[in-house]
């Protein structure tokens, strides 16, 4: 009967890493064998090398002296130790509580009323406001109509990687995902211990292999915004220029605008979508008849 190697109630990240290191042999990790070993599985220096981190840093993780590993380090360790989905989720779960104890809780992001009113007044232009981790904070009616087939409406990355509608909505979903991941990497670099970013990276790393692969890539720069080519189930293909404007009064928030070329078929498609999604006027009461 195979023994359970899960860390006990008193264990933690260090015990978890040690147990997963000891059960992975050098041959399975692609390392040359060295005959008889004094310890089972991989050595600390081998895990550190496979994860591209220093031996001293990895040793501190196992010893419980390093309590703030970044999402990138966690992802590198998950790959080096060949963790499955459940173990990967456990790795991020064990790391996040330690991080949260050293940091303040996630801030609540709110959209200023005048900005919400601004985008609601744009009836021919889809627009929405996102937070620092690309959570959707406010949308106008045309943006809601544009993304109507998405079951998820809370976060750009969750929509791109976890919602099946993204595959048929974007002509090039890979390009949209590259852009979103690059933006999230910038956020993680600026605020490496932000609880919301860590939570999102942990969820997507467990649920999406494509996200894990993109997150492991190093981006020299964020790809430029360009024209989005999308397919809407009602009005057909649209070409919309994607603009992202930083909101200086609320650092971290961005105003996203999707514009069609004036006089183009895409502009006509947005106009049709706007008319179809416009709320119906309330019924007028019949004038009272004299008795």
Q: What is the pLDDT of residue 72?
A: 78
The Cα 194–Cα 200 span in angstroms is: 10
Q: What is the pLDDT of residue 143?
A: 95
Q: What is the pLDDT of residue 31?
A: 80
pLDDT tens for each residue of 161-173: 999 999 999 988 8
**Exposed e or buried b per residue across 226-248, where buried means at least 16 C-beta atoms within 10 angstroms of its C-beta:** eebebebeebeebbbeeeeeeee
More confident residue, 49 or 70: 49
Q: Are 75 and 41 in contact (CB under 8 A)?
A: no
The Cα 237–Cα 230 span in angstroms is: 6
The Cα 282–Cα 17 span in angstroms is: 62
Of 144, 124, 121, whose CA–CA distance to 269 is shortest?
124
pLDDT tens for each residue of 51-104: 888 888 888 888 877 767 877 788 889 888 988 878 888 888 787 654 444 444
Give the global pTM: 0.64
pLDDT at 6 over 80: no
Mean pLDDT of the 104-116 span: 79
Q: What is the pLDDT of residue 226?
A: 77
Mean pLDDT of all residues belonging to the chain: 83
CA 165 to chain centre: 16
Q: What is the pLDDT of residue 33?
A: 64
Q: Which two tokens stand for residue 147?
A: 């993304």
With vertex at residue 31, the alpha carbon angle to CA 16 and CA 20, rounded to the nearest 5 degrees, is 10
More confident residue, 186 or 155: 155
pLDDT over 90 percentage in the chain: 38
Kindly list the structural domains of the chain, giving each domain's residue range(s) and its CATH number in brackets, ordered by start: 13-102 (1.10.260.40), 113-277 (3.30.450.180)
pLDDT at 219 over 80: no
* CB-count burial class (<10 Å; 0-12, 13-18, 19+) for 22: middle
């Amino acid at each position: 009967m195979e023994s359970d190697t899960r860390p006990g109630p008193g264990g933690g990240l260090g015990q978890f890493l040690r147990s997963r290191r000891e059960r992975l042999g050098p041959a399975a990790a692609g390392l040359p064998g060295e005959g008889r070993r004094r310890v089972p599985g991989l050595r600390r220096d081998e895990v550190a090398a496979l994860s591209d981190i220093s031996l001293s840093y990895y040793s501190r993780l196992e010893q419980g002296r390093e309590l703030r590993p970044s999402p990138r380090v966690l992802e590198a360790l998950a790959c080096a130790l060949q963790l499955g989905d459940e173990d990967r989720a456990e790795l991020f779960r064990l790391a996040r509580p330690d991080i949260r104890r050293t940091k303040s809780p996630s801030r609540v992001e709110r959209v200023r009323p005048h900005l919400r009113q601004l985008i609601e007044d744009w009836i021919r232009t889809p627009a929405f406001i996102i937070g620092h981790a690309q959570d959707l904070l406010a949308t106008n009616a045309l943006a809601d109509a544009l993304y109507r087939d998405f079951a998820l409406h809370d976060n750009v990355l969750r929509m791109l990687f976890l919602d099946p509608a993204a595959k048929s909505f974007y002509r090039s979903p890979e390009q949209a995902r590259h852009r979103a991941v690059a933006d999230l990497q910038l956020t993680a670099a600026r605020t490496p211990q932000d609880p919301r970013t860590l939570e999102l990276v942990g969820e997507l790393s467990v649920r999406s292999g494509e996200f894990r692969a993109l997150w492991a890539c190093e981006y020299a720069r964020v790809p430029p915004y360009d024209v989005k080519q999308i397919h809407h189930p009602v009005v057909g293909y649209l070409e919309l220029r994607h603009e992202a404007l930083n909101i200086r009064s609320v650092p971290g928030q961005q105003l996203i605008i999707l514009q069609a070329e004036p006089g183009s078929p895409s502009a006509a498609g947005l106009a049709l979508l706007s008319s179809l999604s416009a709320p119906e006027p309330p019924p007028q009461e019949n004038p009272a008849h004299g008795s």
